[in-house]
Amino acid sequence: MRDHFELQAYDAGGRLGELTVPRADVTVETPALLPVVNPHHETIEPGRLEEFGAEMLITNSYVIYGSDEVREPALEDGLHELLDFSGAIMTDSGSFQLAEYGEIDVTNTEILEFQREIGSDVGTPVDIPTPPDADREQVEREMETTQHRLDAAADFDAGEMLVNAPIQGATYPDLREQAARDAYATGLDVFPIGAMVPLMNDYRYGEMIDAVAGAKRGLGEDAPVHLFGAGHPMMFALAVAAGCDLFDSAAYALYARDGRYLTVRGTEHLDEMEYFPCECPVCSAHTPAELREMDDDERTKLLAEHNLHVSFGEMRRIKGAIRQGNLLELVETRARAHPTMLDGYRALLEHVDQLEATDPASKDAFFYLSGESADRPEVRRHHERLARVSPPAELLLASDPDAHAGADAAVWAVEPPFGPVPRGLDQTYPLTAELPERLDDRAYRAAARGITRLAETSDADITLVDDGWPASALDILADSVDRSPASGE
């Protein structure tokens, strides 16, 4: 067991945790956002990042290694002194430069030694970031190279420095799972899912989620998962619900330099804005017109501050949602911001069995917001648990059980999307769900699957009172289920 990562609470695949970083002597609450700091281009002084909520940041050890300006100060005074940051510091190894330029002039062992010497709290070996859509042979070959380097990192004397074990595999979920399993077996400490930036840049969130789900299948629950390069607040909730714990963002600064303004629904361009839809200190004290009139440095600094405020605000919102048990409602709200986010949410729900394994059995409320709600883990769990029920020999299912009080058969409620509601359970989660009056067909189809599950796992003679169910739901009922028209038909 990895005793440096302790889990506190779950919702779907999302979790609250504590990552103990011994070299920094700090504990970081997860999910956590790590601002990316370039020591040559500090849009915001690293020492100020704690004002926004940063407990950990990330910088590139390869950039420091190759810089005459900062290499010696880093070796002499240490990374924390160089960056004036008292929290935990993670360092990347140069893999990004390797992906961009095809080569770097440092070995795996040399960069690990350098990270240890400058006082990194979490170091990274040089993995091979295979791009999406590479052919399978290339992916497997580069995975093998990465694994050799992880094995070497596991044998390296890192002292108190935690060491990342990056997971590659491109867009092959089975290879992501294999890479994760091999990385986990090294005994290393933190597990970044690598080479994801191209997918996110192209809004391929469905494939991103499939890659994350594959990696999660290969990892133990005590493995902290870092989604490398995931810096836009729009997708934080989705990635957390899939099981990611750490995120790093250069977007706050890069977008600010380009006049771009982050929101939880996407990105706005300052030149096109008349009002700021935000309550952060920057937006409360300035108008878009005022920022446009400022010099480039001041405007960039204030935009970066806003971008950090909205990013850390979303991370706090996600933590609260996990604690309250409504993370998937937040994900669904964010999914409506962009069609490709909806692709990501639907991909997430295709892995419902993984989500159900850690999703709490009881929460405060279930809100049915759209057809996607019919595929949530709570619905799947209810259907599976119907196999444990022993219904009466003659069972009538009706949306209004009281209207059939005189029936010869026992009467249970039927509630889309859950299906049969055994007596005495109607006030238990998730059957206390808040539902719209106008349900979509997917809710009824989910309920029909629940009825079929009960029919297939019991000997009861089941009759459904058909009071306007759509044909698409009735068509998937088990043949053994009889139908009866509603009263008055």
Is residue 364 marked as binding? Answer: no
Task: Give the bridge partners for 13, in sequence order.
Answer: none
Residue keyed to tokens 């099981």: 243
Is residue 455 marked as binding? Answer: no
Is residue 244 marked as binding? Answer: no
Would you call 92 a catalytic residue per the annotation?
yes
The active-site residue, picked from 3, 25, 68, 92, is 92
Cα 295 from chain centroid (whole Å):
37
| Cα separation, 151 vs 459, whole angstroms | 55
Active site residues: 92
Q: Which parts are annotated binding residues?
A: 127, 195, 278, 280, 283
Q: Which parts are annotated binding residues for Zn(2+)?
A: 278, 280, 283
Q: Which parts are annotated binding residues for substrate?
A: 127, 195
